[in-house]
Structure 1
Amino acid sequence: MNQFLRHAFSQSVLLLSGLLLLSHITLAQTTTVTGTVTDGANKEPLPFANIVFEGTTIGTTTNERGGFTLTGQGNFARIAVSFIGYKTAIKPITPGIAQTITIRLEANSQLLNEVVIRSGKRARYRNKNNPAVELIRNVISHKEQNQLGHYDYADYEEYDKLQFSLSSLSTKIADRKIFQKYRFLLENRDTTTLPGKSLLPIYLEEKLSQHYNRRSPHKEKTIIKGDKRVDFGQYFDNNGLSVYLNRMYSKIDIYENSIFLMTNQFLSPIAGSAPTFYQYYLADTITVNNTKLVGLNFVPRNTTDMLFEGKMYVTLDSNYAVQKINLSVNPKINLNWVRDLQIRQQFEQHADGKYYLSKSDLLADFGINKNKGGGVFGQRTLSYRNYHVNEPQADEVYDGQPQVVEADAATRPEQFWLGNRHDTLSSAESKVYKNIDSLKQMPSFKRTMEAFTILFAGYKSFGSFEVGPANTFYSFNPVEGFRLRLGGRTTPELSKRYYAETYAAYGFKDERWKYFLSGTYSINNKSIYQFPQNYIRASFQRDTKIPGQELQFVQEDNFLLSFKRGVNDKWLYNDTWRIDYVHEFENHFSYSFGIKNWQQEPAGGLEFKRMNESETIPSHTLTTTEFSVEARWAPNEQFYQGKIYRTPIANRYPIFSLRFATGVKGLLNSEYSYQNLTGTISKRFFLSQLGYSNVTLQGGYIFGQAPFPLLNIHRANQTYAYQLNSYNLMNFLEFVSDHYASVNLDHSFNGFFFNKIPLFKKLKWREAVSFKALYGGLRSQNDPKLNPSLYQFPVDASGVPYTYTLNKTPYLEASVGVANVLKFFRIDLVKRLTYLDHPNVSPLGIRARATFDF
């Protein structure tokens, strides 16, 4: 599994899965009206017209094609339809059924200052000599002056509210006997936020902060004054859950070229390249507060691309600023799970004549079924006030970390929030904190969450100790045969300062016990699974290992990884003593150093043999004592912290790491002296409509003399799972080197090409490509052919070489893949391009991995 499916997804699933089961209960009887709104004179569709059930606040707006669907529970007899420049129309409907109608609106010239009407056959759309495109180009050219970064100094207050609710949950569910205990939760409904749907709030988060920006030298500083959120207790990492949800519902800056949303990038309708991907149409002209505004509709040229559709109002003064904008997505877009997505932003003019963002609303309705059934609704509302520009603050305001949380931010009393919220909570929202506090105390809820924790996180909690992970309890391999393992670890409930972890395993073929024991001391008295880490750990491990296999985010004895292709009989028994110290800083620079005493014993078909004149001399063990130090810098890195791993969330910033290790001969029976230097740079490049690329550059060099188990054994993969950071058609132990350089490129097009192919467009498949190159070599002093005292490279049962060095030809591997298969899987056809003459080589292979993307 990849990072997001196993970790980010696991915690969000824990939150939503149990409650989503409730959302598939049959809906109560509703009134549904579907139809179109058109101009009565020329029958052109009217986008963004308003439709409501008369006498209620339940309503919706038409899409770019003038279509709408309005649903509500109640005996509604009429709907009201209104649009700027037209007379309001009242139409009768039949309560309690689904029906389709067409509404034609009559123009009302008395309401208009100016109206642009297009009639007759629409001409072929062109950018050239198009007044709508000329207007948007003016908006684009004035973007910089309309952003806060244009000023030398700027500061403002921000109120941030994020809430999630179950949507379309039947009101009759609270009457069922099985849910009687949950009536206090199930009856807390919101029927006004999402017209036509009943929402049951389950999560709420509020944050009040002060922001300071300085252009030169550039500095952004945020001081969090208040932070309040629903707490689900021990079943979730609440900080990690907050980071993940805020990442999904990112802040929207319409003036940025690309907008990150739901793990995807959307091209802004006012990006520099937007006229290439969007079509623009002049709508109406209105006057607000003596300011003339022009309405501009925009739609994607290709309805399946990651683009918006909607309407903006633009000032006609020298600013060419956006005063209001509504964004939505086409139903045909290649986006998973999302039924409806809307973004609404408003800008207010301030004393300097500029327009600043005053409110931003992001609303998304998720569901397994596109048009029916229960789902999850999320809304993030951001409100801004007290703007000040070109008013410098004292230097100490900008100094220090980019984000500072005031000491009592998380414990602010309700009186603080009553006085500082930019808007009041709805009646349903105001009860969420208390309701969830009551819910998590209920034994039945605890039992349900424990079951989901075992299923998705793999651990069974017993308070201060938890047993797991479950996927390692059983596995098998050629050396150990059938393997059973049981382990666990202490939790912060026992102590936030001291931690212990252990497991024991037994192989029924080799009849050996394996075990692990570690003790960790948290120096900063925080959980060792949370950022920033500052701890010291001592451990001992006796277990098996495949030489060179380095897995990300999974244990090597994971049951699913027991299935391997080809010959897989060369293993190691390891006895490893370690002491490690890790220290992270708030600026995301970290360092670690440690000492390791490592005894390796060959297992299975692997042998350690030296040449002595004409005979080979076996060696039973190899012992090494090694000191290491590592530095890592990941600017602006965010984590999703789950039960087992802490998963970085990919962003546009690079990550740098440098590691140096040295073996000390003679120390604790160490047999070799050497130095190993490794450097890595990785970065995700966002390419707007062409998707994104993950690029990793790595290089290493070993100084001194060392046998092949201590050289760089390059990461191979003989499982059927596609691994991003391994060579998927390289055999275990196939290549070793003492100096190397590699590049790993993995690119996702996000369906850019498949969206143009009818069948693939319907399946919502997405294309992916990868390329991996490894160049390296072995100096003569580390070549066992020239130095008989070194261990000879492994050979198979017939004496055919099994391990090789890289010569002047690099190892090359490429793949093409189809992602988003059944919304969860990526399947790659992998091609090995070089060293095809090696034994047991697969030139082609099909590999799969589980993914989770919107």
Structure 2
Amino acid sequence: MKFYTKTLLILLLLTGAAHTLHAQSTVVKGTVTDAKTKEPLSFVTIGFAGSTQGAATDVNGRYTLKTNDKFDQIRITYLGYKTVLKNIEAGKEQEINIALVPDSRQLGDVVVKSAKKKKYTNKGNPAVELIRQVIAHKEQNQVQNYNYAEYKQYERMVFSLSNLSEKFTQKKIFKNYQFMFRQQDSTAIGGKTLLPLYMEEKLSQNYYRKVPYTQKQVIEANKQVKYDENFVDNQGLTTYFNRMYQDINIYDNNVSLLSNQLLSPIADHSPEFYKFFITDTIKDAQPKLIELSFTPRNTVTKLFEGRIYITMDGNYAVQNAVLTVNKNIDLNFVRQMEATLSFEKNDDGRYHLSQSDLKIEFGLNKNKGGGVFGERLVKINNFLINSPRPKTIYDGPAQVIANNADQRDDSYWIKSRPDTLDAIVASVYKNVDSLQTIPSFKRTMDIATLFLAGYKNFGPFEMGPVNTFYSFNPVEGFRARLGGRTTTALSKRYYFETYGAYGTKDQKFKYFLSSTYSLNNKSIYSFPQSYIRASFQHDTKVPGQELEFVQESNFLLSFKRGANDQWLYNDIFKLDYVHEFQSHFSYALGFKTWNQSPAGALQFQNLLPNGLLNNVNLIKTTELSLQLRYAPKEKFYQGKLYRTPIPDKYPVYTLRYTQGVKGLIGGNYNYQNVVGNISKRFYLSQLGFTDVSTEGGYLFGKVPFPLLDIHRANQSYAFQFQSFNLMNFQEFVSDHYASITVDHNFNGFLFNRVPLLKKLKLREVVNFKSLWGAVRSENNPTNDASLLRFPTNSLGQATTYSLSNGPYMEGSVGVGNIFKVLRVDLVRRFSYLDNPNAPKMGIRTFVKFDF
């Protein structure tokens, strides 16, 4: 009996103890959201106040805290938001949802009180000592430090018209579409009223391997707002937006932002450019965090300002960061910018980027009026380290798109998104489709296309470009031209283009016809291209004028300096096959017959055996060609006429081989010509960037001067990067040559130290070009009377030369960013100054929109 009594007492005691332990256990769970947007906040730090016990919210903003200790408060801290304390009941399970309010504090609020204001210095500054520790630990905190890594990534990009007035929203065009407008807190970036017009989402699986280096992205799903391709290059639009809103790696020395590079606050030499302040210590976070605020030493320099949170666990890693820019910074059209970065702890105790949110608002006026607001959100989860995959996973191109990536339905996206879209954003795809059916919207797009691209759309056919309809020159006099081309509304496989022109002075008709067949059932203007094209052109040409992104009939090119009366009449038949690959390698095969006749003051003359001059009226050639081009990671926007490149640090390689065949369809000459070109942009951090282009060519065979390399000259008043701006047309020819062009933009590095120039936000530029070349004796008409003589002017003076007295050189200094769009260069020619009509100096202008 005693045994059973004792057993019963023990059981009762154990039950009571268990009940007591259960009663003392505190469980707090809930969701953390943004008080204004109502969106869940990921990786918010939540801990029991006064302790090191804590946790972080997941990608859906959910959290759970458990403890057997007795606490009566929890503390919620998150970068960019006000810290919150919430009372809890110890020993109970409870749900507490928290809405965090953004913290509008600016670095200007940091006040250091002292009897005497101390000059900021790095020496003995604990904030600088801390940032030096962060710099020293950068390598170990980089993802690239792992042998293998993989993760799931979600990206969302949304662009909206911003800061819209009530008058704008009440316009007739939006009468039945008020549901398209998105309302937000008036203090948020973009203002109170937004009109979302573009959205793109992407889900991908990403793989990294250290040796051999591989970074591969497999896009599993992709969804994008689609505009009528007759108005907008949707693929190019995506490329352009992604270039503007690149990934921000704070551990890199330089961070790319809007085609600029800004020095990271934790760059190797950041203490020389930034001021650092310890502004808070968060002791109840796990691990303990130090809030480090920073600001540029010069507020107009292209640098960030903001704050970073450093882990005090020996890693000295960045756990969170808020990067903004000063309103005085020399970034064109940028009203506000904010990048919020969050990092999550790995199993090995180090950190990886878990979320990036980049917001930028643009506007012609920095202080008022409508603008454009863009946001790119990136969320990373399922981060796995040092788990190698089979070799086949890493092989192949850097980006792979699943076959059905763009065919995922709404249910897939609802299930796969790591967060929930608000109603307005979720309906952007459908709203834009509806918007494009409104007649007034179509008219607006039609007018914009005519103004910006120069084409008027008539459905299956578009007329243009408008700026070529009228021009003038010394040979043709007033030149009228009318043309156009078919669109995808007629066919996606067949394209036709034509124009007709007439000169009032020479009273001759000119024309062009082309027919193109797409081999991949895509628009021939879409990447990657694959097509066959046949064309015939009967028109004029200026020898030595090679233009990029401009048609020769452009009205503005009618205005030229100096003599411009040596022209050609050309009959050119071409058959081209072009094939591009996703890797941005391409090749082109060409067949060309070319008949050249002199026009204007140009004459083709040689000496007969009896010593008399002989006029040659026609040069006939037949050519076969192969061009190879490789532009790794190239980005561009496909316009109506040309691809507009988006400059980046990656080089572009081009190699072209041309074979002239004598006797083939009337060709008169055998020759081979090889030309190679390499172009690259070099970013130099605070010193700006440098564009370098090198080219070399060699022509084998005996040919008359019109078939030599006629070096690219420019007699217009526009600054041309690929031409020599103080060289006259047809002034120099070579059968072997090498050239280099260097164009450096200091991005205001020097001007920002001059008060007036600093206020005007002007940018200094320098340019240098040099050309080495020669004509072998077999191609020099002074050694062979049967060759065509180099041209002369009306006074009998030679106007075409070989580079026999050293290189041709010219350089310029200029001022850019005038009115945010204009660059003006003072160009100086350094050699061959004794050539007739050789200009010594000149002013050249260039229009370009830069950020």
- For Structure 1 versus Structure 2, the TM-score category normalised by the shorter chain is 0.7 to 0.9
Contact 1:57 1:195 in 2 (8 A): no
C-alpha distance in 2, partners of 1:288/1:821?
A: 51
Q: Is the aligned partner of 1:566 residue 2:562?
A: yes
- Residue number in structure 1 paired with 2:106: 63
- Residue number in structure 2 paired with 1:636: 633
- Output aligned runs, 1:95-106, within 5 Å: none
- Residue number in structure 2 paired with 1:690: 687
- Output aligned runs, 1:112-261, within 5 Å: 119-171=114-166, 173-175=168-170, 177=172, 179-185=174-180, 187-191=181-185, 194=189, 197-234=192-229, 235-261=231-257
Cα shift readout 1:481-506 (whole Å, capped 9, x = no counterpart):
11111111112222222211111111
C-alpha distance in 2, partners of 1:288/1:199?
A: 39
Contact 2:146 2:210 in 1 (8 A): yes
C-alpha distance in 2, partners of 1:206/1:524?
A: 26
- Output aligned runs, 1:398-413, within 5 Å: 398-413=394-409
Q: Is the aligned partner of 1:285 residue 2:281?
A: yes
Where 1:796 maps in the other structure, the secondary structure is coil
Q: Is the aligned partner of 1:796 residue 2:793?
A: yes
**Which one-letter code corresponds to 2:446 in the other structure?**
E
Percent of aligned pairs sharing the same letter: 55
**Which one-letter code corresponds to 2:262 in the other structure?**
F
Decide which of 340, 354, 363 is 2:359's aligned counterpart. Answer: 363
Tell me by how many angstroms 1:518 deviates: 1.0
Cα shift readout 1:175-218 (whole Å, capped 9, x = no counterpart):
45564244343x44344854863322222111111110111111
Against the structure 1 CA distance between its residues 457 and 402, is the aligned structure 2 distance closer, same or farther, given a 3 Å change threshold?
same
- Residue number in structure 2 paired with 1:21: none
**Which one-letter code corresponds to 1:65 in the other structure?**
G
- Residue number in structure 1 paired with 2:512: 516
Contact 1:367 1:376 in 2 (8 A): yes
Where 1:479 maps in the other structure, the secondary structure is coil
**Which one-letter code corresponds to 2:540 in the other structure?**
T
Contact 1:712 1:737 in 2 (8 A): yes
Contact 1:60 1:195 in 2 (8 A): no
Contact 2:495 2:517 in 1 (8 A): yes
Count of paired positions: 757
Q: Is the aligned partner of 1:530 residue 2:526?
A: yes
Tell me by how many angstroms 1:352 deviates: 1.7
- Output aligned runs, 1:443-462, within 5 Å: 443-462=439-458
Cα shift readout 1:796-846 (whole Å, capped 9, x = no counterpart):
001011111101321000000100001111000000011111111110100
Tell me by how many angstroms 1:375 deviates: 1.5
Where 2:107 maps in the other structure, the secondary structure is coil
- Residue number in structure 2 paired with 1:777: 774
Against the structure 1 CA distance between its residues 489 and 175, is the aligned structure 2 distance closer, same or farther, given a 3 Å change threshold?
closer
Q: TM-score, normalised by structure 1?
A: 0.86
Q: Is the aligned partner of 1:744 residue 2:763?
A: no
Contact 1:154 1:214 in 2 (8 A): yes
Structure 1: any 5+ residue segments left out of the alignment? 1-46, 68-103, 105-116
- Residue number in structure 2 paired with 1:659: 656
C-alpha distance in 2, partners of 1:137/1:422?
A: 36
Where 1:665 maps in the other structure, the secondary structure is coil
Contact 1:58 1:196 in 2 (8 A): no
C-alpha distance in 1, partners of 2:173/2:678?
A: 55
C-alpha distance in 1, partners of 2:587/2:325?
A: 44
C-alpha distance in 2, partners of 1:164/1:660?
A: 44
C-alpha distance in 2, partners of 1:538/1:459?
A: 23
Against the structure 1 CA distance between its residues 137 and 118, is the aligned structure 2 distance closer, same or farther, given a 3 Å change threshold?
farther
Contact 1:58 1:195 in 2 (8 A): no
Q: TM-score, normalised by structure 2?
A: 0.87
- Residue number in structure 2 paired with 1:430: 426
Tell me by how many angstroms 1:223 deviates: 0.8
- Greater RCO between the two (CA within 8 Å, min separation 6)? 1
Tell me by how many angstroms 1:789 deviates: 0.5
Tell me by how many angstroms 1:616 deviates: 0.5
Q: Is the aligned partner of 1:372 residue 2:368?
A: yes
- Residue number in structure 2 paired with 1:342: 338
C-alpha distance in 2, partners of 1:582/1:469?
A: 24
Against the structure 1 CA distance between its residues 197 and 51, is the aligned structure 2 distance closer, same or farther, given a 3 Å change threshold?
farther
- Residue number in structure 1 paired with 2:18: none
C-alpha distance in 1, partners of 2:502/2:544?
A: 23
- Residue number in structure 2 paired with 1:15: none
Against the structure 1 CA distance between its residues 572 and 424, is the aligned structure 2 distance closer, same or farther, given a 3 Å change threshold?
same
C-alpha distance in 2, partners of 1:166/1:660?
A: 48
C-alpha distance in 2, partners of 1:823/1:267?
A: 22
**Which one-letter code corresponds to 2:591 in the other structure?**
I
Against the structure 1 CA distance between its residues 631 and 411, is the aligned structure 2 distance closer, same or farther, given a 3 Å change threshold?
same
Against the structure 1 CA distance between its residues 626 and 148, is the aligned structure 2 distance closer, same or farther, given a 3 Å change threshold?
same
Where 2:133 maps in the other structure, the secondary structure is helix
Decide which of 832, 843, 850 is 1:835's aligned counterpart. Answer: 832
Cα shift readout 1:642-684 (whole Å, capped 9, x = no counterpart):
2221222221111111111111111111111111111111110
C-alpha distance in 2, partners of 1:371/1:535?
A: 48
**Which one-letter code corresponds to 1:492 in the other structure?**
T
- Residue number in structure 2 paired with 1:35: none
C-alpha distance in 1, partners of 2:177/2:153?
A: 35
Cα shift readout 1:592-650 (whole Å, capped 9, x = no counterpart):
11111100000000000011242100000100011111111111112211222122222
**Which one-letter code corresponds to 1:362 in the other structure?**
L
Contact 1:51 1:61 in 2 (8 A): no
C-alpha distance in 2, partners of 1:51/1:346?
A: 17
Contact 1:48 1:64 in 2 (8 A): no
Cα shift readout 1:756-782 (whole Å, capped 9, x = no counterpart):
111111111100000000011111100
**Which one-letter code corresponds to 1:203 in the other structure?**
Y
Decide which of 371, 377, 382 is 1:381's aligned counterpart. Answer: 377
Contact 2:82 2:100 in 1 (8 A): no
Cα shift readout 1:432-491 (whole Å, capped 9, x = no counterpart):
112111110111111111011100011111222211111111111111111111111112
Where 1:428 maps in the other structure, the secondary structure is helix
Against the structure 1 CA distance between its residues 196 and 824, is the aligned structure 2 distance closer, same or farther, given a 3 Å change threshold?
closer
User: RMSD across aligned C-alpha pairs, in angstroms?
Assistant: 1.9
Against the structure 1 CA distance between its residues 195 and 498, is the aligned structure 2 distance closer, same or farther, given a 3 Å change threshold?
closer
C-alpha distance in 2, partners of 1:195/1:558?
A: 39
- Output aligned runs, 1:21-32, within 5 Å: none
Q: Is the aligned partner of 1:315 residue 2:358?
A: no
**Which one-letter code corresponds to 1:148 in the other structure?**
V
Tell me by how many angstroms 1:57 deviates: 7.8
Which one has the largest radius of gyration?
2
Contact 1:250 1:261 in 2 (8 A): yes
C-alpha distance in 1, partners of 2:214/2:273?
A: 34
Tell me by how many angstroms 1:702 deviates: 0.8
Q: Is the aligned partner of 1:677 residue 2:674?
A: yes
Tell me by how many angstroms 1:124 deviates: 2.0
C-alpha distance in 2, partners of 1:126/1:513?
A: 74
Decide which of 807, 811, 815 is 2:808's aligned counterpart. Answer: 811
Q: Is the aligned partner of 1:755 residue 2:752?
A: yes
Against the structure 1 CA distance between its residues 56 and 481, is the aligned structure 2 distance closer, same or farther, given a 3 Å change threshold?
farther
- Residue number in structure 1 paired with 2:478: 482
C-alpha distance in 1, partners of 2:638/2:507?
A: 37
